[in-house]
Structure formats: C-alpha cells, structure tokens
Structure 1
Amino acid sequence: MTSFKVGVKFMVFDIKKTFRRQALAYRENLSSMEHAWRVASMLEHLSTLLQSRGPCTVAIYQPIRGEPDLLALLSDKNLIRFTWLTPVCSETPNGKVLKFAKFGPSTTWVAGQYGIPVPADCNWGEPDVVVMPCVGFHRLGYRLGYGAGWYDSTLAALNPKPWSVGVAFSGTEFDVTFHEPHDQALDAVVTEDGVIFPSSPQQNQ
C-alpha cells in the first residue's frame, strides 16, 4: 500500500511538471498586445469581484515572469477604500510562509527573495483576501504554481483563513486534476473570460 501511494505521488509530480512547462510556454508565447488586453479584462473582472467583498484588506503580488500585472487596482476609484498588502517570503522554524506588508504609491522597494520587489520598511498586516498568480489551474479551484509551495503553506497556517483568489490566463486551464493533499483550494479563479467559482461547474461572468 505504501509503494502505491509513493507511485501516485511521483505520478502527480510528473503531471505538475509537464503542465507547468506547458502553461509557462503559453504565457511566454502571448504577444504583447494579447497579453495586455487579457490582463485588462482580468482587472475588470477582479475589480468587480473585490467590490462584492466590500472595503477590505487585499494582498496582491508583485508580477514577475510575465504574470498578470494587477497593480492598476490601486488607482481604481471603485477600490479607493481598500488597503493593500504584498507578500514577503519568510523562513520560520516551522517552515516557509508568506508575511504581508502594507504598500502604496509612495512605497520604496528593494529586491527580496527570487528578486521579487518588497517594501524597504515592512509594516505588516493581515489580509481578508489573498490574490495570487497561477501558472495554471483546474476549475475545481486548484492552483498550479512554480512548485515551492509558499501560498499553500501560508493558507494552511493562517487563522482565520482569508478568501483566496487565483489569477490565470484561460489558456492555462487543465482538464486533468493534479492536486495533492497539501494543495489549498481557491475560493475563486479570475481569467480574462470571467470568474470561476469552484462550487459551480459553470463560469460566472
């Protein structure tokens, strides 16, 4: 029985590795114009979704490697009363977790882990909503990332658990499930085509 479980684990690992390679290639092959209009559409859907949550504290990432740039949300007049946080990688005795630092237009940035920008002076906060980039996704709510597990370990550790939203290009959706026991399911996935709620097989515009 143990050997069967080990075999399944490595099979899922290989599936994730293959899907990750395919999804990154899809992202890299988008023309600058395709990338721009898709991100603009994502921003519209995400803004509407966040407005439905009411003014709250939202964690959004600093984009790298062609990820959708969501920072225009900070100047969205419909989200003027929202507070914004950005994730910062933090190694702890219990493992790696993300901490969340407040930021705004006047924030001074320095290079953090993986070269991701982080505030020079961190004023920590707790998010009500965490918006995270997806390399790929499954509409059951499972996110494919780069494989380091930062978001999964963080969501598992946070109490209360924030509302989690993945952002992905629609062309990086996979029909074959790839999740493992430690993978944290998302509450919603935003693509350029609309918002997917895992509780429903239908996509909601």
Structure 2
Amino acid sequence: MKKEFRKKVISDRKNQNNEFIIKNSSIITEKLLSLDFIKNAKNIMLYLDFNNEVQTDELINKLMSLKKNIYAPITLKEDRKLIPSQIIDLQNSIKIGAYGIREPKEDCCPKIDVHDIDVVIVPAVAYDKDCYRLGYGGGFYDRFLNELRDDAITVGIAFDLQIFESVPKEDHDAQLNYIITESQILIPNKY
C-alpha cells in the first residue's frame, strides 16, 4: 500500500509543469522567510531539490544573503545516514551524489554537528494534515530527525497536491512541527 501510494503521488508531482513548480516554490519560499523560527535560526539544514520537488535554490540564496549558515545532507548510502554539510556556493560546491540528488562536495564543505542545527527543512513524497511525512522509503530522514536536539524545528515543504488526510505511517515515522504549502501552514494537532 505504501509503495503504490508513494508511486502515485510522485507521478502526480512529476506531471506538474515547470511554471507550476517555479511559481509555487517561490510562494512557499516567501512564506518560510516570513516565519520567526527562520528569522531567528542561525544553522538551517535543507534538501537540494530534484524530481519536481519544491525548489530550494532561491530559498538557499535568500537565506545566505541573510547571513544564515545553510547545510544540505551528504547521503551515505551504505550506512543509511545523512551528514549535514555546509553549502558555501550553490554553483561550485555541489555535486551529484547518491540517488542522483545534488549534495555538497565532501572536500570543500564543512560539516556540522547535528545538535547545532536549529531548523531542518525536510523533503517527502507526501504529508498528512497532522504533519506526518511519507518519505522515499530509505528511512534516512526518520533516523536523522531522531538525532536532533529537542528544540530544533522540523518543517516539511510541499505542494498542496502532496497533502492528504492521512498517509501510511509506522511507529518510527517522525511528526514534523510545520508543513508549508502554497496555500497553507499546517501545525500538528496536539490534542
């Protein structure tokens, strides 16, 4: 069930045209930049988009211009681990890494201890209205999010078409603090 659901949502997202992706990514970027937890954060980790995900390059450039330290994960496939590494320069310090996803080059990008991260902007295939995510199936982010300090903020960014009443989840799946789409900001129901 999880596999089929994942496949359908990825397909729906891939079918969106470039104009949709650019326009809505820009709206989501502006929403994020207006939030206090972003304004107050010093160290922000996010993903480098691929496959019609919400684009992050504009967000990275704007955060860097605000003097934030920006990190993206280097994926260690065999260890099923993410290593947060600083983005120094989006043009020259990035390479294609595991799974064909862009990531910082290991030799030029300083690492950061996971406990020093203030905000993590997380990718996913889909989210539910209670801020649970359905990832790509490797468990990389679920393991990584468990290592964060308690007051670190976790945020999913997605298009409305990736939001559902519920998504298939398991006990180890992380619940995020926020999900931001082009039309809404979701916060988990804590009752």
Q: Per the shorter chain, which TM-score range?
A: 0.7 to 0.9
Alpha-carbon contact 2:63-2:70 (below 8 Å) kept: no
* 1:198 aligned partner, one-letter code: P
Which moved further from structure 2: 153-162 or 122-131?
A: 153-162
Q: TM-score, normalised on structure 2?
A: 0.85
In the TM superposition, residue 65 of structure 1 has moved relative to its aligned partner by 1.1
Contact 1:135/1:143, CA 8 A, preserved across alignment: yes
Structure 1 residue aligned with 2:164: 174
Distance 1:52 1:75, change over 3 A: closer
Residue 49 of structure 1 and its aligned partner are, at CA, apart by: 2.3
Which letter maps to 1:28?
A: K
The count of residues paired between Structure 1 and Structure 2 equals 185
| 2:184 pairs with 1:198 | no
Moved over 4 A (4+): 50-53
**Structure 2 counterpart of 1:113:** 98
Structure 1 position 76 matched with structure 2 position 99: no
State the SS of the aligned residue for 1:84: strand
Are the equivalent residues in 1 in contact too, given 2:48–2:102 (CA < 8 A)?
Answer: yes
Q: How does 1:120-131 map to 2 (within 5 A)?
A: 120=105, 121=107, 122-125=109-112, 126=114, 127-131=117-121
- Alignment-derived partner of residue 131 in structure 2: 141
Q: Is the 8 A contact 2:80 2:138 kept in 1?
A: no
Stretches of structure 1 that go unaligned for 5 or more consecutive residues are 1-13
2:140 to 150, 153, 160: 150
Structure 1 residue 154 displacement after superposition: 0.9
Sequence identity percentage:
26
Going from structure 1 to structure 2, the CA distance change for 1:101 and 1:175 (only over 3 Å counts) comes to: same
Q: Does the C-alpha gap of structure 1 residues 19 and 89 become closer, same or farther in structure 2, counting only changes over 3 Å?
A: same
1:73 counterpart letter in structure 2: L
Amino acid at match of 1:108: S
Let me know the Cα RMSD of the aligned residues: 2.4
One-letter amino acid matched to 2:101? I
Q: Which residue of 2 aligns with 1:5?
A: none
Task: Compute the displacement of 1:196 (Å).
Answer: 0.8
Q: TM-score with structure 1 length normalisation?
A: 0.80
1:66 partner SS: coil
Q: Give the equivalent residue in structure 2 for 1:104.
A: 88
